[in-house]
Amino acid sequence: MDVGHCYLDGNADVVEFCPHDSFHHVLAASTYTLQEGDHPTRSGSISLFNVDLGKVDLLYRLKTAGIFDMKWNPVNTTTTTTTTTRPLLAQADADGFLKIHHLQSSINGNDLKEVSSEKLSSCMCLCLDWNPSATSISVGHSDGSISLTTFQETKTITSQQWKAHDYEVWATTFDPDQPNLVYTGSDDCKFKGWDLRTSPSSTTFQNSKSHEMGVCCISKSPHNPYTLFTGSYDEQLRIWDVRSITRPVIEASIGLGGGVWRIKNHCVVPGLILAACMHNGFAIVKVNGSQEVKVVETYNKHESLAYGADWYRGSIDKKGKTVIATCSFYDKLLRVWVPETDII
C-alpha cells in the first residue's frame, strides 16, 4: 500500500527516518547531482518530510554539496549526553566535508541548523557511521582512506586518518557491541576490520576472496552480537558470524538480482532486512539463523536505480503495520509505503 510519494530537486540517494522520540515522523532525504561541463559541480540537498496520518509533506529543504551518505546520531539509552539526546544529522559530501546539523522545532515545523563543518579531505566523502555513544564518526573517502573524527557539542576533530583500501570506500560501520572495532568495504572487493585502539588503526582481519565485486554496505545485527551483513555489487547479501573476529565466517548468502547498495535491519524484529538492490528494486529479506534466508516481499514501483531505504520507527497504520521509505536516483523519486506481507 502506498502512503505517498514526492519528486525531489535532484538525484535521490539516501532516506533516513529520525530515530529520536518525538521526531519519528521526520524523514530526511538527500540528493547528489553532477553538473557536467568544463567546470563540473556536484550539488545536493537535504529535504525534511513529515510522514504521518497517511501523507508525506515537505517541511524544509537545505541546499548543500552533493551528498553520498547521511545518518542520524543513534539513541543511546545508557548515556544521556547532549549528543545522544538531541537529534543530529551528519552528512558526507562531495566537497570532502563532514557536516552535522541539529534538527530543531520551529514556528513552521522542523528545520536544520548546522552545528559543525569540517573539511576532512580533498577527496570526496562517500560514507559515514556514528559510534554507539555518538561521540565519534568514521568516514570513508574516494581515495580509499578512512577518517576517524571525534564530536563534542559543536566541534569536530579528526583524530585518525589512514589508507584503508585501494579504491573507493563505500561502507564504514562501527560494531555497536565492540565500539573499538570498525568494518569497512570498498571497490577493491575487500572487507576489513580495524582496531581503533592503535594509531593508525590496525587490521583485525582482511577478507579479499568472498565478494566477487565491490563491497557496498555493511550492517551489524542489532539483535545478535555475532551476526553481520554485507551487500555487494555482485548481487549477494551475505550473513557473517563474527565470533572469531580475526576470521569471520560466512554462514549464508542470498542473491537479490541487483547490486545490494544498502541494507537496513529492522529495529524491533530480529532477522528482518530491507535491501536497496540498485537494478532490481527493493527487497525485504527474512533471516532465521543460518538455516533459512528468503525474500518475503519485493517492491518495484521505482523506475531507476534503487539507492535509499529505511524503516519507520513507529507505526502510522491503524493495524500496526510497519512503514518503509525508499528512493531512486535518476527519476528523483521518494516513495513511502506499507508492505503487503504480514511481516511484523
Write the secondary structure of 115-134 as one string of H (helix), E (strand) and C (coil).
EEEEECCCCCEEEEEECCCC
Helices (H), the chain: 82-85
Say if residue 316's pLDDT is above 60: no
Average pLDDT (81-94) is 85
Q: What is the pLDDT of residue 76?
A: 75
pLDDT of amino acid 312: 94
- 40 pLDDT band (50/70/90 cuts)? confident
Question: Could you tell me which residues come within 8 angstroms of residue 204 by beta carbon, excluding any fewer than 6 positions away?
Answer: 181, 193, 194, 195, 245, 246
Confidence of residue 1 (pLDDT cuts 50, 70, 90): confident
Residue 77 banded pLDDT, cuts 50, 70, 90: low
Walk across the sheet containing 26-35 and list its strands: 12-17, 26-35, 41-52, 55-65
- pLDDT, residue 319, reads 63
At residue 344 the predicted structure's pLDDT band, cuts being 50, 70 and 90, is: low
pLDDT of 101 above 90: yes
Domain range list for the chain: 2-260
The pLDDT tens digits of the residues spanning 211-248 come to 999 999 999 999 999 999 999 999 999 999 999 989 99
Burial of 52 (0-12, 13-18, 19+ CB in 10 A): middle
pLDDT digits (tens, 9 = 90+) for 156-208: 999 999 999 999 999 999 999 999 999 999 999 999 999 999 988 899 999 99
Secondary structure (DSSP) of 162-216:
EE--SS-EEEEEEETTEEEEEEEEETTS-EEEEETTSSS-EEEEEE-SS-SS-EE
How is residue 171 written as a grid cell?
561502507
Q: In this predicted structure, what is the pLDDT of residue 317? A: 53
CB atoms within 10 A of CB 245: 14
> Which of helix, strand or coil describes residue 87?
coil
2-260 is classed CATH 2.60.40.1840: no
Q: How far is CA 69 from the centre of its chain?
A: 7
Q: How many CA atoms within 13 Å lie on the side-chain side of 197?
A: 5
At 224, is the secondary structure helix, strand, or coil? coil
Residue from 102, 128, 84 nearest 48 by CA: 102
Q: Give dist(CA 282, CA 325) in Å, integer.
A: 10
Q: Are strands 249-255 and 169-175 parallel, antiparallel or unpaired?
A: unpaired
What's the confidence (pLDDT) of residue 83?
Answer: 61
Q: Which of 7-11, 29-33, 105-109, 283-287 has the lowest mean pLDDT?
A: 105-109
Cell numbers at residue 239, please? 550473513
Terminal alpha carbon distance of the chain:
15
What confidence score (pLDDT) does residue 300 get? 96
